[in-house]
Amino acid sequence: MKVLSENGQGIAKLYSRCFTARKKHVEEKVRRIIDDVRMSGDEALIKYTRRFDKAKLTAKELRVQENEISGAFQNITSDFVNDLKIIINNVSSFYKKQTQKPCRIRHTEGVVVKENILPLETVGIYIPSGTAPLVSTVYMTVIPAKMAGVKRIVIATPPNKDGQVNPYILAVANLLKVNEIYKIGGAQAIAALAFGTKTIPKVDKIIGPGNMFVTEAKRQLFGYVDIDMLAGPTELVIIANRHSNPDFIVADMEAQSEHVGGLSILVTTSKEILRQVRKKVAKGFAIYAKNIDEAITIVNNLAPEHLQILTNNPGAVAKKIRNAGAIFLGPYSPTALGDYAAGPSHVLPTLGTARFFSGLCLSDFMKKSHIIAYSKRALENLRGPIQKVATIEGLPKHYESVNIRFQ
């Protein structure tokens, strides 16, 4: 563990951490893959699936078939479905509360201004399965999409070298009634979802985490398709004082290090806690804060994905936190709880983007249209203001399109 000074270069680098996937070779490689998929479609997907996933598939085999989905249940533990139902209920209950209410304003007689809120028509969800099959990402993304009213949900996930998808991923998708699943991964999967191929449908938005190639593809394709966010490696910050349990801190920081590139940071006002944790944690950083207010300032500057507050009064500390993707209060609310079962999605902003991004919510699957309806009399009341602005902007025909209605 590396101990950093509040005024040192190390902590300054943590404050300014950003999306690191834009290394030149990654950017260029992803661009070539995207162009290839756009031009060659399924042929390119088959080529890259063989090259990167070592799986030999035909175009027909890119989509998971019904017999593969039903067969997946033969390869999962019998109690998994019961456990999953508990988790699904937790996640569904949370998102039921995120209701979308259209606004409607009637200024005066003859004026109606309102907002229509509609679900996206089709969403593509990327489920990583290379280094580890992220089964939890299936329900953490599909459930809010379904609660928002998205009718067509498409999953893309890399196959193993035998051309098969992890059975738990298939089982969870099936239990959530998502049966359109494709055996594609990496940048080529993102390109296929953005442009569409003969086999893979084009989607309106792509949701889900991935490695640097997946993230770079999402960055390059934003505009052709909407995306949730540019996610970097997962990260955890822990605020602790002398009342905190050092064993809990060590366990939580070590859990974070299980992720490739996972970042864990301890911010503590206790030199004794710092000493104990430093002896047991190899990976990660520690920052000593003179008092809890300094600790809060450090955390708000870090804007972490996950924040655990293990002080004796976590609620009071949480009230002063401005920037964090998810905040876990007290010794019995570890980050793993949010990763798997608490309710809110574990798709959260990283790399300091919690300053302006939020965790995945229903609004990520919605779009809005403004509805404007004026009577002739109501429009006439705005002729003067419209004429003034149109004249200033040098667009006289804009005003004429209003004025002609009164000739």
Per the structure, the count of domains in the chain is 3
309 in a domain, yes or no? yes
In this structure, the answer to whether residues 91 and 223 fall within a common structural domain is yes
Query: Is residue 384 packed enough to be buried (19+ CB in 10 Å), middle (13-18) or exposed (0-12)?
Result: exposed
- Among the listed residues 305, 346, 370, 380, the single catalytic one is 305
357 in a domain, yes or no? no
Active site residue 305: yes
- Sign of torsion, CA 158 163 169 174? positive
In this structure, the answer to whether residues 276 and 295 fall within a common structural domain is yes
Which CATH number goes with the domain that contains 69? 3.40.50.1980
129 in a domain, yes or no? yes
Active site residue 370: no
Q: What is the pLDDT of residues 132-186, one digit of tens each?
A: 789 999 999 999 999 999 999 999 999 999 999 999 999 999 999 999 999 999 9
In this structure, the answer to whether residues 116 and 208 fall within a common structural domain is yes
135 in a domain, yes or no? yes
In this structure, the answer to whether residues 196 and 73 fall within a common structural domain is yes
In this structure, the answer to whether residues 124 and 98 fall within a common structural domain is yes
Rounded CA gap, 278 and 359, in Å? 31
What Rg value do the Cα atoms of the chain yield, rounded? 25
In this structure, the answer to whether residues 28 and 168 fall within a common structural domain is yes
In this structure, the answer to whether residues 9 and 81 fall within a common structural domain is no
In the prediction, which pLDDT does 164 show? Answer: 95
In this structure, the answer to whether residues 70 and 181 fall within a common structural domain is yes
Rounded CA gap, 291 and 288, in Å? 9
pTM: 0.90
What mean pLDDT do residues 300-316 have?
97
101: left (phi over 0), alpha (psi -120 to 50) or beta: beta
Provide the 3-class DSSP secondary structure of residue 223. Answer: coil
Q: pLDDT band at residue 107, thresholds of 50, 70 and 90?
A: low
- Among the listed residues 28, 68, 258, 306, the single catalytic one is 306
402 in a domain, yes or no? yes
In the prediction, which pLDDT does 231 show? Answer: 85
Q: What is the pLDDT of residues 208-267, one digit of tens each?
A: 999 999 999 999 999 999 999 998 899 999 999 999 999 999 999 999 999 888 999 999
Query: Which range of residues forms the domain containing residue 204?
Result: 24-227
358 in a domain, yes or no? no
354 in a domain, yes or no? no
In this structure, the answer to whether residues 280 and 308 fall within a common structural domain is yes
In the prediction, which pLDDT does 22 show? Answer: 55
Q: Of 319, 343, 367, which residue sits at a domain end?
A: 343
- The tokens describing 326, both together, are 């998810």
Q: Of 343, 366, 384, which residue sits at a domain end?
A: 343
In this structure, the answer to whether residues 210 and 179 fall within a common structural domain is yes
16: left (phi over 0), alpha (psi -120 to 50) or beta: alpha
355 in a domain, yes or no? no
Q: Of 343, 359, 394, which residue sits at a domain end?
A: 343
